[in-house]
Structure 1
Amino acid sequence: MDRMDVIETIAGIQLPGHLHTAQSLQYAQEFQFQEGDIVIISYPKSGTTWMQEILTLIYSQGDTEVATSVPNWERAPWLEHTFFKDLLKEGEGPRIITTHLPSELLAPALQNSKAKVIYVARNPKDVAVSFYYFHKMAKFLPDFDSFTEFLQKFQDGQVHYGSWFQHVKGWYAQKTNLGLFYITYEALQKNFRHSLKKLCKFLGCPMYSRELDQIQNHCKFPVMSQNVMVNYTLIPHKIMDHDQSKFMRKGIVGDWKEHFTDEQNVEFDKLFQEKMSDCGLQFVWSLD
């Protein structure tokens, strides 16, 4: 059965059937996390691929061999995807696990484990733009006629993977319970070296300056965007059409300025204040 147009639903959230089944989602919820597991959590298009690459390099002490020879979805497989069980490797250092699932589905299991949890967030205006372009190239996601149409759905939380606001707030509320390491895409952009040192400290992985240099150089956007183990050009054209948009498109902060009208920006700022005023989270909208 061709599942490219199938939609799975869990906790009121729609997910693409090409990557998810009822069985894979059930397996994800029942998964037993182990001490030593490293779990990357994010809303789509928030810097997930970047963090997968950073962790790969941290656990190889800056050696780029694995990062340039093994696809990132094998190095840090997605918990809720159908192929997760086949890709998860045992006995080869920490298991790096990736997920987009919301806190209400996974937080209880993580609270009862000793896994280390990393949450990567990104300002929602840039997320919306990046997610829109991802929809243009990912054939397993719905097609939208315009950014205006997509943005309205995004603001309403009516896109695949659900509401950005609920996802970020839900996981941030677990920061103390999980000892969660919270980091933003913008912080990584502004001072990668400082962020990398903080992450290494959280993981208990001290690094020498030479190793930090290697990680920093390899994880630059121009380098990663040309790495076929990261840029998803290995995926068949019928699933991801890179002629429509690149998976790794720009990698900057503030691209939303090229897409939001003044009216859309005012409306979004109002919504952001309504949704986020009770959690205290602040986001950087531009590095200019």
Structure 2
Amino acid sequence: MPRQVTIMLSVQYVNYRDLLLPPIAHTKESLEFAENFSVEDTDVFAVTYPKSGTVWMQEILPLILNDGDLTQIQTIPNWDRTPWLEETRLAVVVDQLKSPRALVTHFPYHFMPASFHQSKAKAIYVMRNPKDVIVSSYYFHQMAGFLEDPGTFDEFLDKFLDGNLVFGKWTDHVKSWKHNNLGDRIMFITYEEMKEDLPAALRRISSFLGKNLSDETIHTIAEHCSFNAMKDNPMSNFSLVPKIYMDSDKSPFFRKGKYFTSSFTFV
């Protein structure tokens, strides 16, 4: 039986197994669909805590899996080409996804559907320095109409440290994926590694996915997955989203794309 889903009217968030989720994109139906989703052995999941490189991976994975073919990133919005497991759009586009399918999720490890654990599907966990996650999240809360007002930065910082934000506590999320039994089905990489040397990161990811891409293809992917290229791509920059949901006048979705330090590693 599907687990109970309730709406917390006071903050307008969906409470799913004690995990707060943004409304509109997350519904009782979408979460039931995620629970019962039939994961295929060839599926690839990019896993992130919010504001840790999700949209970047939505650009990277289709390009790697399709040998650098630019068609998807130029014609299909990122939420449809690499949909979120837990969001409403997956049920709409799932039949259009071709194998190997690329998906993203903000779910902690133990929230993944049973079929994921029973499959040979792969996961790429991208971690970002929490100092940058906090800043990026703070500005995102200012522009996203489906998230509560962040208040002052100090107030927001307290919520972040206490885990009183969507998708819970950052440390809990990281630990849930770090301590798993997936073996060679999971790869860990940091946002900072990707910023420092994207071609090298792309080679690591492509090797993990069993793709032997040429240097020319890696260069093409890196070029089209740069901050400026994605910022200018209407299929990737969320400019197609109505202003009521994402108001770029309050804060641009693609702000700076910078990072605090390059020395942060998994523990």
Question: What is the deviation of 1:178?
Answer: 6.3
For 1:69 and 1:26, the matched residues in 2 are separated by 29
For 1:107 and 1:284, the matched residues in 2 are separated by 33
Partner of 1:41: 47
CA contact (8 A) 1:117 1:178 kept: no
- Give % identity: 40
2:177 to 171, 181, 190: 171
Partner of 2:4: none
Secondary structure of the structure 2 residue equivalent to 1:88:
helix
Partner of 2:263: 284
1:251 and 2:257 matched: yes
Question: What is the deviation of 1:22?
Answer: 1.8
For 2:97 and 2:82, the matched residues in 1 are separated by 14
Question: Number of residues paired by the alignment?
Answer: 256
Partner of 1:24: 30
**5 Å matches for 1:217-236?**
217-236=223-242
Partner of 2:3: none
For 2:239 and 2:259, the matched residues in 1 are separated by 24
Partner of 1:211: 217
* Aligned partner letter, 1:94: P
Structure 1 residues 42 and 31 mapped into 2: Cα distance closer, same or farther (>3 Å)? same
CA contact (8 A) 1:28 1:80 kept: yes
Question: What is the deviation of 1:53?
Answer: 0.5
1:118 to 120, 124, 128: 124
Question: What is the deviation of 1:107?
Answer: 6.7
1:151 to 137, 140, 157: 157
CA contact (8 A) 2:79 2:89 kept: no
**5 Å matches for 1:82-161?**
82-90=88-96, 92-106=98-112, 108-161=114-167
Partner of 1:258: none
**RMSD over aligned Cα atoms:** 1.9
1:52 and 2:52 matched: no
For 2:97 and 2:54, the matched residues in 1 are separated by 24
* Aligned partner letter, 1:284: S
CA contact (8 A) 1:253 1:285 kept: no
CA deviation digits over 1:199-235, x for unaligned, max 9? 1111011101111110011111011111111110100
Question: What is the deviation of 1:80?
Answer: 0.8
CA contact (8 A) 1:14 1:162 kept: yes
TM-score under structure 2 length normalisation: 0.90
Secondary structure of the structure 2 residue equivalent to 1:201:
helix
Structure 1 residues 227 and 42 mapped into 2: Cα distance closer, same or farther (>3 Å)? same
Structure 1 residues 132 and 181 mapped into 2: Cα distance closer, same or farther (>3 Å)? same
Secondary structure of the structure 2 residue equivalent to 1:66:
helix
CA contact (8 A) 1:110 1:178 kept: no
For 2:121 and 2:73, the matched residues in 1 are separated by 23
Q: Which runs of 5+ in 2 are unaligned?
A: 1-8
For 1:111 and 1:76, the matched residues in 2 are separated by 20
* Aligned partner letter, 2:38: Q
Structure 1 residues 91 and 217 mapped into 2: Cα distance closer, same or farther (>3 Å)? closer
